[in-house]
Amino acid sequence: MHEHHLSVSRTARYFTLGERSAAVAEVWFACHGYGQLAARFLEKLRVLDDGTRYLVAPEGLSRFYLSESPTERRVGASWMTREDRLAEIADYVQYLDAVYQEVFGLLDRSQVTVHALGFSQGVATASRWTAMGKARVDRLMLWGGEFPPDLDLTLPTIVDRLRAARLSLVYGRADQLITEKVIRQIADRLRAHAIPYREIPFDGGHELNDGVLKGLGGETAS
């Protein structure tokens, strides 16, 4: 048996909040968590929609039913699985680059700052895109997820990109998936490669928090 790979064209979707206009000062690319859909995830970021931000939520390329119940066939999306993972990573990095290119087809990149926010599984997605993609990310916010352990921080190009992005680790003190022990491991790895970061803990679990989001937005506006 031989494994083969074939590149194909497919349709992907993303959702936006805000208007692409001269008033936009920030563009936020938000990567949802495992089993979420982009539209529902973006709704949770509506608190950031103040007229100066253009919010973009790409959707993972793989959708699936969250339940086998015939009466409740809810759908979620995933960025990748461990099966054929390198090809899936390459696909979603290329996909996010394409979304970025389309967004800045009508916006002047030199007039805005770009912010990448990843939640849960989207943390690894946003991290890899920042480190490996063609986009220039000014700020990287990693919320309730694990920084990808396989990202090669010995490569100068990857480290330089991460150092250039203002990196924040956001986590709930009661998060049972991303515990403070996991945060310590991530922080140790970042420090070992001289990648600056800061921690933003909050009282809560594995969830987004309006107050923290407002705080992050206020910092970028200041």
| Residue 213 confidence (pLDDT) above 90 | yes
Is 14-221 in CATH node 3.40.50.1820? yes
Q: What is the pLDDT of residue 76?
A: 92
Taking only the tens place, the pLDDT of each residue in 151-178 is 999 999 999 999 999 999 999 999 999 9
pLDDT higher than 60, residue 221: no
Asked if pLDDT for residue 219 goes beyond 80, the answer is no
CA–CA distance, 146 with 120 (Å, rounded to integer):
7
pLDDT digits (tens, 9 = 90+) for 46-84: 999 999 999 999 999 999 888 877 777 889 999 998 998
Instruction: Give the mean model confidence (pLDDT) for residues 118-130.
Output: 98
How do strand 75-78 and strand 62-65 relate by DSSP bridges? antiparallel
Residue 68's pLDDT is what?
Answer: 77
- The fraction of the chain above a pLDDT of 90, given in percent, is 84
**pLDDT band of 133, cuts 50, 70, 90:** very high
Q: Which band of pLDDT confidence, cut at 50, 70 and 90, is reported for residue 220?
A: low
Position 222 confidence tier, pLDDT thresholds 50, 70, 90: very low
Looking at residue 104, what is its pLDDT? 96
* Predicted pLDDT of residue 47: 96
